Amino acid sequence: MMIVRNCFTAKPGHGSKLAAQLKEAAAASSIQRFRVLTDVTGEFNRVVLEYEVGSVGEFEERMREYMTNEAFRAKMKGYTDLWISGHREILQVA
């Protein structure tokens, strides 16, 4: 099993809006188990969308689905206006 984390630094004042948008978008996709995390300590305005995949192949399949899932794409519209930077982490569960 692997954990995928899409980590964003939201623009000031936009963290909760980005978190809500990611939560709605994930619910509109085939992501089975996901959670949206926001900062309590550390870097300000941090928002993380975290979910599980069985393999790198499943991650790649999910990325292809995002490109064609119109409901997901509609929920994600404009999300790039809400963040300054971001990165993805893919971690193997030991």
Tens of pLDDT, residues 72-82: 889 999 999 99
Tens of pLDDT, residues 82-94: 999 999 999 999 9
65 has pLDDT over 90 = no
Tens of pLDDT, residues 10-55: 999 999 999 999 999 999 887 878 999 999 988 899 999 999 999 9
66 has pLDDT over 90 = no
> Which structural domains are found in the chain, ordered by start?
2-92 (3.30.70.100)
Rounded to whole angstroms, how far apart are CA atoms 87 and 66?
Answer: 17
Q: If 0-12 CB within 10 Å is exposed, 13-18 middle and 19+ buried, where does residue 39 land?
A: middle
CA 2 to chain centroid: 15
Rounded to whole angstroms, how far apart are CA atoms 9 and 30?
Answer: 25
Distances, alpha carbon 13 to alpha carbons 2, 9, 19, 38, 67, in Å: 32, 11, 12, 13, 29
- Which pLDDT belongs to residue 7? 97
